[in-house]
Amino acid sequence: MVNAPLALLAELTHRCPLRCPYCSNPVELSRASAELATAEWARVFREAADLGCLQVHLSGGEPTARRDIVEIVAAAHEAGLYTNLITAGVLLDAALMQRLVAAGLDHVQLSVQDAEEAGAERIGGMKGAHARKADAARLVREAGLPLTLNAVVHRQNLHNLPALIALALEWGAGRIEVAHVQYYGWALANRAALLPTRAQLDEATRIVEAARAAHRGRLVLDYVVPDYHAARPKACMGGWGSRFLAVSPAGRVLPCHAAESIAGMVFPNVREVSLHEAWYRGEAFERFRGTAWMPPPCRGCANAEKDWGGCRCQAFALTGEAANTDPACVLSPHHGLLAAAVAEAGQAEFRYRGVA
């Protein structure tokens, strides 16, 4: 039985003023001319609500780069969806914040690259971005909206994890997501510069657990760990085509935001089919849904319906075949690829988009 999805990730655009070297967007970005129009997004939101989605995450790129972002928020609100804006905050000003609130915005998730200005600007590749983020946090707080900080952590900013948690408290966030980089897309190209040591990972885990205890009732800490030091894979997205769907800027319907990184897969488009058709009968969604597709050692494994075979995007990125057992599993014949990547990590320089 296929259950209805709980949430929709609406990737409104790939345009973004930042150049984060861990960007989760595809290596080949969609052009602005290919983006869904306002009316098309409004139809997608109505179909998502009819399908059973409860919330929509408005993302990018940078969603506020779209001139119609207020109209898009209003359309999502009118469809009955809880609206979460996932933003870098650098284009957010008081006038726009006021209009977004009036349109029905419910929540803001603000990304931060580091706890200190110099590190944040080096990682994000944009001067003045950190100060603008602080202003954005203030505007969200003054508007009375709940705020989540999203801190993507890696080898080059993990030393500032305590300061990032302190920043969430300082900026009035009720939640911080401490998310280790996941290595596909542009992040895979920068893996050597980003992948933490095992000692860094263990220390980060200790810091998060201590902060959870210290700030219980004041700050919620979500924690996403990398797979490269793991013995078992995560249940990526709760299982392929199980709880979540995404729509790309050009309208492709995806089981996860990174699915386009799997070469050779053809995904349905909202310009051609409904979300209902894509979710329940789309060939791409059926391909890795459930357990029937699994090869050994996943097939028959006691964890098959717990981790759902791990991440298909990671399996493809590391082995060239999306149906292979996720190398994060110690039983995978490709598990040694992770140890090799950890051993090779340490490169200091990032590769930014447009730079060879």
Q: Which two structure tokens, joined as six digits, stand for 17?
A: 């003023």
CB burial of residue 55 (10 Å; 0-12, 13-18, 19+): middle
Per the annotation, does 23 bind a ligand? yes
Alpha-carbon gap, residue 119 to 252, rounded angstroms: 35
**190-193: long-range contacts (C-beta < 8 A, 24 or more apart)?**
190/21, 190/22, 190/350, 190/351, 191/341, 191/345, 192/344, 192/345, 192/346, 192/347, 193/21, 193/155, 193/156, 193/345, 193/347, 193/348, 193/349, 193/350, 193/351
What letter represents residue 48's amino acid?
A
Per the annotation, does 20 bind a ligand? yes
Q: Which residues are annotated as a binding site?
A: 16, 20, 23
Q: Which residues are annotated as a binding site for [4Fe-4S] cluster?
A: 16, 20, 23
